[in-house]
Structure 1
Amino acid sequence: MHKVEFSPSLMTMDLDKFKEQITFLNNHVDSYHIDIMDGHYVPNITLSPWFIEELRKITTLPMSAHLMVTDPSFWVQQLIDLNCEWICMHAEVLDGLAFRLIDQIHDAGLKAGIVLNPETPIEAIFPYIELVDKITIMTIDPGFAGQRFIESTLDKIVALRKLREEKGYNYVIEMDGSSNRKSFKRIDAADPDIYIVGRSGLFGLDEDIAKAWEIMVNDYEEMTGKKLVSASQA
């Protein structure tokens, strides 16, 4: 059996079935992915720190906030106050802020993640890569669900895994964007630690979340040839 982590992107869930879907997923996934967008860094506005407060009422699973914002320093302390386990910031807006914000997150006993857009090379984060707990590779352009999968981004996952082995770094590697039946085989070959699944890979597969999860697992196993171990089996 193959153990990879799945983290549902909750901006793509059916909010009319919020409690039902989270209650089911609590027994099957490893963490939750919460997109926070400010309408400036990307032309969209989705979830907020308030959503994390509401989610906290019905789950004990770790939460990972993905900040698609122009001013991460405005949001970081709010997420620290909510004890958000992972706070992930885009490298493209961290010039002059990276060390300060990573230290601020670590000083609070939380984990700091860095997100790379498809065009951003991993070399951009070399000055502080040894401090990072997670690196998220965007396999689509950020801001909207359902975009075209950019296969060349998988090379960065391979390179980050090699670099981690060579240097002894401790970050986990996550992929975000169009993780579904069409792309599972290619993603598996790159071997990230965490898959973000959204509308095309999970929530859009069936109105019933249990059926949608079953379809996703079957898709993964059929396309990769590997038997999946879910969080409830680990």
Structure 2
Amino acid sequence: MVKLSPSLMCMDLGKFNEQIAYLNTVMDYYHIDIMDGHYVNNMTLSPWFIEQLQAHTDVPLDAHLMVTNPVEYVEPLLDLGVEVISIHAEHLNGHAFRVSQTIKAQGKKMGVVINPETPMELILDYLHLIDIVTVMTVDPGFAGQKFIVESLNKVRWLKDYRETNELGFLIQIDGSCNEKTYSRMLEAGADILIIGSSGLFSLDEDIAKSVALLNEHLTQAMQ
């Protein structure tokens, strides 16, 4: 069964307690987008948000670093108990082996993020160190963008490469995960779907009803 990771930048912070309390019972990860306004032209969540969130959940947190100097965030995020630290390939290159040692020493997971235009060859030298590969099916930085179907070729490539080389990383998709795209994402080989506005938070004002609709959409996609 595919795992689910709500993107908390899309939630209604005015209903934080209500939504988190329910999502804690049904979700596999929480996806935390950290943007500094430089790597992408947007600013969202922060390590401070993670510190506050930790008091309300035991769900593993995946910190997606869209910042200019992501390596500087690694140790502070580990100190906060983040389970997965996901860095874009363009910024992880040159640091991957050292960052992997730092993360794995704390018993946590390293992730790499692939933009729609990122060549897969960029991550080959350290793919065996990776726990989760996130494939962006939109350009990074903003919610609600148009689905880039060509990115699914990267998902298929990763699935084949994993099987051929007997690796254990999970494949995660970030961007436009909703009822219109689920079937293609699952067919391509997604293990984790990051769900935001269109896949979860805009389906209904009641979070339980939103999750019920999400599960209905996924069930239909798997038939």
TM-score range, shorter chain: over 0.9
Which of these residues, 148, 151, 158, is aligned with residue 150 of structure 1?
A: 148
Q: 1:87 aligns to what? A: 85
Q: Secondary structure at the match of 2:56?
A: coil
Q: 1:70 aligns to what? A: 68
Q: 1:31 aligns to what? A: 29
Q: 2:160 aligns to what? A: 162
How far did residue 144 of structure 1 move?
0.2
For residues 71 and 178 of structure 1, the distance between their equivalents in structure 2, rounded to whole angstroms, comes to 26
For residues 117 and 187 of structure 2, the distance between their equivalents in structure 1, rounded to whole angstroms, comes to 21
How far did residue 94 of structure 1 move?
2.3
TM-score with structure 1 setting the length: 0.93
Q: Which amino acid aligns with 2:28?
A: D
Q: Is the 8 A contact 2:92 2:112 kept in 1?
A: no
Runs of 4+ more than 4 Å apart: none
What fraction of aligned residue pairs are identical, expressed as a percent? 52
Q: 2:104 aligns to what? A: 106
Q: 1:224 aligns to what? A: 222
Q: Which amino acid aligns with 2:90?
A: E
Choose between structure 1 and 2 for higher RCO, CA contacts under 8 A separated by at least 6 residues. Answer: 1
For residues 133 and 93 of structure 2, the distance between their equivalents in structure 1, rounded to whole angstroms, comes to 17
Q: 1:228 aligns to what? A: none
Q: 1:132 aligns to what? A: 130
How far did residue 222 of structure 1 move?
2.2
For residues 172 and 12 of structure 1, the distance between their equivalents in structure 2, rounded to whole angstroms, comes to 23
For residues 196 and 73 of structure 1, the distance between their equivalents in structure 2, rounded to whole angstroms, comes to 23
Written as runs of structure 1 = structure 2, the 5 A alignment for 1:164-203 is: 164-203=162-201
For residues 190 and 85 of structure 1, the distance between their equivalents in structure 2, rounded to whole angstroms, comes to 26
For residues 7 and 207 of structure 1, the distance between their equivalents in structure 2, rounded to whole angstroms, comes to 19
Q: 1:58 aligns to what? A: 56
How far did residue 124 of structure 1 move?
0.7
Q: Secondary structure at the match of 2:40?
A: coil
For residues 186 and 109 of structure 2, the distance between their equivalents in structure 1, rounded to whole angstroms, comes to 25
TM-score with structure 2 setting the length: 0.97
